Structure 1
Amino acid sequence: FQPGEEGFDGAGHMIAEGVLEAAGRPADAAYGLHVVSDMVPRGVFTTRPGPMMSASAGLFVRVVGAGGHGSRPHKALDPVPAACEMVTALQTLVTRRFSTFEPVVVTVGSLHAGTKRNIIPDDAVFEATVRTFSQDTAERVAEQAVRLCEGIAAAHGLTAEVRYDGEYPATVNRAEEADFVAETVRELFGAERYLEMPEPNMGSEDFSRVLQAVPGSYLFLGACAGDDHTLAAANHSPRAAFDDSVLADGAALLAELAVRRMRRGLTSSGATS
């Protein structure tokens, strides 16, 4: 029942408003589940101990020049070539300033400039998403990406207005809680219904804020509508399709995790039921 999961930090707002203490004392643990259309076969659960999903940030750039006619570019300050150079240079930044064992993804998903082919615009704007796994890496990307864009603009005699916004931290599962999820899935549904993720996912999730505050684990549930998940479109594709029949098992697992975790807490505290 959380609002604002995609891009509006709903978990952060709910935590600030006291959701983790709503029962009268801090939560002992937290578990979150997300369906996926392509990562694993339908009905299969998957998670992993440690880092599971990346941190995210947004890079927003406005390259400011001076418009003019396309036939006389020397009489204008064209922001378009500079913006294009920044887009490609950001990819080089990733491969040349960061170790290949230090995952960084920069994707420019929006780029806009001009109104007609023969008019040099006053400005060009683009937006990028940045994915990392450590705070140190995130801070280094922020510093170097901003400096890179400003430097390229200056080299072209232009200016760049650059904003770098941190969004969500990495989603990191407690190892013992991820193991607990895997054990519960196997016992509830059978060993064939669980696969451990071989590597973290570069998507981001605001449930990460919950896992910063209390121990727990995030997990995925395969909801592929077709028979072969490897051929299915990913979650955010307009062609993504989901099989709702898996939802009952997802709800059953969350309920079983809650019951078993509360029982474990009672046992460790010496209480009896």
Structure 2
Amino acid sequence: MPVVNRIADMSADMTAWRRHLHTIPELGLECHKTSAFVAERLREFGMDEIHEGIAKTGIVAIINGQGAGPTIGLRADMDALPIEEETGVDYASTHPGKMHACGHDGHTAMLLGAAKYLAETRNFSGRVALIFQPAEEFGGGGEVMVEEGIMTTFDIAQVYAIHNAPGKDFGSFNTCAGPIMAAADTFSIHIEGKGGHAARPHDSVDPVVAACSIVQALQTIVSRNRNPRDSLVISTTQIHTGTTDNVIPETCYINGTVRTFDKAVQAMVVQRMEEIVQGQAASFGVKARLEFEFGYPPTVNDADKAAFAAHVAREIAGDGAVNSATEPVMGAEDFSYMLEKRPGAYLMLGQGEGAGVHHPKYNFNDEIAPIGASFFARLVEHAQPVSGA
């Protein structure tokens, strides 16, 4: 079963919606114009309920099907990135320093297309909860919506989301059971020594040398403390210190990221980082303080729901275009908070060649919108068929 004909007929509409949203990118929880546009479309489509102002600018819209049944959640993120756009398209960002560089405008358009179809046909039982979420890139809008009770308020039993994937074959679906994206944590290390003249290092306590040793030692967590079967990334991305060539500075700052799939590995990293920082500090005679900030948890697909989603995807894209055992990636996604509360699955939808996400030349491929919208629609119809159908 390929793209749904009625959804294919909406292709021009989805393109128009997406390109309008592309012109008005907004950050974090402040997706006011985006949310207003989405709510206006939903009212036009005849939603049974529209709940606005969740996580400040998030929306949950309800479509009732035929007869009693559970509620299935479909989520799209709406926020953009603080990047100056370089696409040169005639619908480029009109908000300086902001752009839809991750395709959330496309995700929103796909879910709007599915919403219009589902409201017209209602060929399912129970309810659909359409979740339009702000602040995926930063701010944890998914966590905020969960904390504000959407899963219980709307009695959502299972939940799904799609993300576009540049570089993956056009129209292909990629998912897996278990972790598909990593936890994203941040560490900062503050080192205090004793500054002085660089020609008299013996009169100083050099934080730069200590910092270099700490950065190198942190890599041994990956090479010597981690089980080789466990995925782990520790990347130091910033070292800030000093002002000139002939002065040993007083302080040094180190910053970086940790990516894991497993909470036990995450806990081991925190313990070993603290031990390394304090041990290295003592050996160099400096003071050091580790700050570890826990970010988005890993995005973990329910095995049964991932298999079900892959089955639906095969009906849309064909057997050869669905990889149900894709390799997990070390990026992060705050849909993880929703999957912690309810079983479901997260899928990647290939959009062909082009600039990668978070690049100033990135642009969503409008031709995949009918594919994604059809997947959402068929997912609902298969998950909650009408009794006797």
Q: Which bin holds the TM-score, normalised by the shorter protein?
A: 0.7 to 0.9
1:76-225 matches, cutoff 5 A:
76-225=204-353
Could you report, residue by residue, the CA deviation over 1:185-234 in whole angstroms, capped at 9, with x for unpaired residues? Answer: 111222233123442211222111111111100011112344xxxxxx64
1:10 is displaced (CA, Å) by 1.3
Which is further off, 240-249 or 79-88? 240-249
Query: Contact 1:113–1:123 at 8 Å: present in 2 too?
Result: yes
Q: Deviations over 1:131-172 (max 9, x none)?
A: 112211111111111111121111100011111122222211
Tell me the SS of whatever aligns to 1:217. Answer: strand
Q: CA RMSD in A?
A: 2.0
| Unaligned 5+ runs, structure 1 | 227-232
Q: Residues 146 and 164 of structure 1 are in contact (CA less than 8 Å); yes or no, is this contact kept in structure 2?
A: no
TM-score by length of 1: 0.87
TM-score (normalizing by structure 2):
0.62
**Highest relative contact order (Cα 8 Å, sep 6+), 1 or 2?**
1
User: Could you say which residue in structure 1 is the equivalent of 2:147?
Assistant: 16
Pick aligned residue for 1:4 from 128, 132, 135: 135
The alpha carbon displacement at 1:240 in A equals: 4.8
Paired residue for 2:378?
Answer: 256
Q: Is the 8 A contact 1:3 1:10 kept in 2?
A: yes
Offset, 1:272: 5.6
Structure 2: how far apart are the matches of 1:67 and 1:205? 42
Secondary structure in 1 matching 2:254:
strand
Equivalent residues of 2:195, 2:250 under 8 A apart? yes
Contact 2:307 2:324 in 1 (8 A): no
1:240-251 correspondence runs (5 A): 240=362, 242-251=364-373
Q: Which runs of 5+ in 2 are unaligned?
A: 1-131
Q: Is the 8 A contact 1:53 1:202 kept in 2?
A: yes
Greater mean deviation of Cα atoms: 209-218 or 59-68: 59-68
Q: CA deviation at 1:239?
A: 5.8
| Structure 1: distance between partners of 2:188 and 2:239 | 10
Alignment of 1:67-82 (within 5 A): 67-82=195-210
2:164 matched to which residue of 1?
35
The one-letter amino acid of 2:136's match is E
Matches within 5 A, 1:46-85: 46-85=174-213
Residues in 1 aligned to 2:308 and 2:239: alpha-carbon distance in whole angstroms = 44
SS at match of 1:168: coil
After superposing the two structures, state which structure 1 stretch, 236-245 or 121-130, moved more.
236-245
Partner Cα distance (2:377, 2:244) in 1? 57
